[in-house]
């Protein structure tokens, strides 16, 4: 959510930002909010003036009673009743206007950074940099589901019977590899100075509304029937929600956290071959990184965070690239975002394995997260980034470490988490 001052003082800037995000249908909201805000401030000003007048008249009553002028005092009491009635009406009007303003303000997209490329959708995202050589070996790389099945590590048929499409059983060495990668990701971030957390996996609607836009919520979140609880789509949701309504000391910033969680999303699934694979599923696990910092430090942390993800994947011998998200591909709360994509030697192209975003003060404004400074309380900036989301990270690992004989090479950094195993040998 943007600062209301931008609507009051720089409406054209807000409108231009909306146009950059190709959301012209939201342009009328800017003028609507502007008018509502005028009415709100007028109502508040009038109510404040009446309260002042009420206090003065209340003091007059006491003085008149002491002077024995009871009839004059009673007359002023009647006037106080009329003033109180007006104040009550104005307060009700203020509350209604404030609610309307907030509802509309939450639909206005965050002001994007000047460096964000302008484009309608993800097809216009811009490649930034490649890390590692995208090798295509002289032997065939099987589909990842087939690699898993060769190690007796995947059962989607049974998961279909228990849970439906989009779920899976991982077993044996594949399940161990999946967990090993997540544990390594945890330790990787702890070594970077981040504090490890395991958050709640369900959150209330006020937290959901604080961390994401309405459109994202409808597309992603599973709601628990009959309760004000949602399954998280990423641990960022509950991790940022942890600070709801808090005023943190300025000297405690930055707050750097890394969190593990299962994630639940309403993925529609893809067609054909991917339906039996693990690329698009309803449930997965993720190691995330979250930072709360001073707004002026946000871009510096943004650069550090995506670089951590690149370093993590390169340590697993996986080539990656970074992709700058264009304006039309940015969620409404984001200031700037980039995807980290892993190389697929089977498909001979890159695919997304993580996303790094700075949201400026958007989430902090919605959730009331501020820092206490010598100049008063100010909103913090929030950032989030994927360290590892699996099974997508697992797919990248299997393809890039697949050997000609069907075995899977285990890089040195992961061997301690695999009981010292250097290679996985297929059973069939």
Cα 401 to chain centroid distance, Å, stands at 31
Q: How far apart are CA 385 and CA 426, in angstroms?
A: 34
φ and ψ at residue 252, rounded to 5 degrees: -85, -10
Residue 168 predicted with pLDDT over 60: yes
pLDDT of res. 269: 45
Cα 319 to chain centroid distance, Å, stands at 26
pLDDT of res. 165: 86
Residue 401 predicted with pLDDT over 70: yes
Q: How far apart are CA 178 and CA 144, in angstroms?
A: 13
Q: How far apart are CA 283 and CA 326, in angstroms?
A: 27
For 371, the 3-state DSSP assignment is strand
Q: Which run of H or E residues covers position 70?
A: helix 70-105
Helices (H), 67-191: 70-105, 144-150, 156-162, 172-190
pLDDT of res. 128: 96
Q: How far apart are CA 16 and CA 31, in angstroms?
A: 13
pLDDT of res. 277: 85
pLDDT of res. 69: 75
- Alpha-carbon distance values, 245 to 206, 207, 248, 380 (Å): 11, 11, 10, 12
pTM of the model: 0.89
Q: Kindly state the average pLDDT of the residues 34-46.
A: 95
Residue 361 is encoded by which pair of tokens? 């003060």
Helices (H), 21-69: 27-66
- Alpha-carbon distance values, 412 to 415, 419, 420 (Å): 5, 12, 9
Q: 1 and 105 in contact (C-beta within 8 Å)? A: yes
Instruction: For each of the domains in the chain, give its residue range(s) and CATH number, in order of start.
Output: 4-105 (1.10.287.40), 122-424 (3.30.930.10)
How many CA atoms lie within 13 Å of 414's alpha carbon, on the beta-carbon side? 26
How large a percentage of the chain has pLDDT more than 70? 97
pLDDT of res. 271: 44
- pLDDT greater at residue 304 or residue 281: 304
pLDDT of res. 270: 44
Find the range with the poorest average confidence among 1-5, 116-120, 283-287, 336-340.
Answer: 1-5
Residue 268 predicted with pLDDT over 70: no
pLDDT tens digits along 291-312: 999 999 999 999 999 999 999 9
Residue 144 is encoded by which pair of tokens? 């990842």
Residue 428 predicted with pLDDT over 70: no
For 329, the 3-state DSSP assignment is helix
């Amino acid at each position: 959510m943007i600062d209301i001052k931008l609507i009051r003082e720089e409406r054209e800037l807000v409108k231009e930002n909306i146009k950059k995000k190709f959301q012209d249908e939201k342009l009328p909201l800017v003028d609507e909010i502007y008018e509502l805000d005028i009415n709100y401030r007028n109502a508040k000003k009038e109510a404040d003036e009446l309260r002042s007048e009420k206090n003065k008249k209340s003091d007059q009553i006491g003085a008149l009673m002491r002077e024995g002028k009871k009839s004059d005092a009673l007359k002023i009491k009647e006037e106080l009743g009329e003033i109180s009635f007006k104040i009550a009406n104005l307060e009700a009007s203020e509350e209604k206007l404030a609610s309307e303003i907030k509802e509309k303000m939450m639909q206005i997209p965050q002001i994007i950074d000047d460096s964000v490329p302008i484009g309608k959708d993800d097809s216009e995202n811009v490649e930034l940099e490649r890390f590692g050589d995208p090798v295509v070996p002289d032997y065939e790389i099987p589909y990842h589901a087939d690699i898993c099945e060769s190690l007796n590590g995947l059962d989607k048929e049974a998961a279909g019977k228990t849970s439906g499409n989009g779920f899976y059983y991982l077993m044996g060495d594949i399940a161990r590899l999946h967990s090993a990668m997540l544990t390594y990701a945890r330790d990787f971030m702890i070594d970077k100075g981040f504090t490890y957390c395991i958050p709640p996996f369900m959150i209330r609607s006020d937290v959901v509304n604080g961390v994401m836009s309405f459109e994202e919520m409808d597309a992603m979140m599973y709601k628990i029937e009959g309760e004000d609880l949602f399954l998280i789509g990423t641990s960022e949701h509950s991790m940022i929600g942890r600070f709801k309504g808090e005023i943190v000391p300025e000297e405690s910033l930055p707050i750097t956290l890394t969190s593990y969680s299962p994630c639940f999303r309403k993925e529609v699934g893809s067609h054909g071959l991917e339906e039996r694979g693990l690329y698009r599923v309803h449930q997965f696990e993720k190691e995330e990184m979250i930072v709360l910092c001073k707004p002026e430090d946000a871009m510096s942390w943004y650069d550090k965070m995506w670089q951590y993800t690149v370093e993590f994947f390169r340590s697993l011998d996986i080539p990656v690239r970074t992709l700058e998200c264009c304006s039309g591909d940015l969620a409404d709360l984001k200031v700037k975002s980039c995807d980290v994509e892993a190389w697929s030697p089977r498909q001979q192209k890159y695919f997304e394995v993580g996303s790094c975003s700075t949201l400026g003060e958007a989430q902090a404004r919605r959730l009331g997260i501020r820092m206490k400074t010598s100049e008063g309380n100010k909103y913090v900036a929030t950032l989030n980034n994927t360290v590892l989301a699996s099974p997508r990270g697992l797919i990248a690992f299997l393809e890039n470490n697949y050997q000609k004989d069907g075995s899977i090479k285990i890089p040195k950094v992961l061997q301690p988490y695999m009981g010292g195993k250097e290679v996985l040998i297929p059973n069939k």
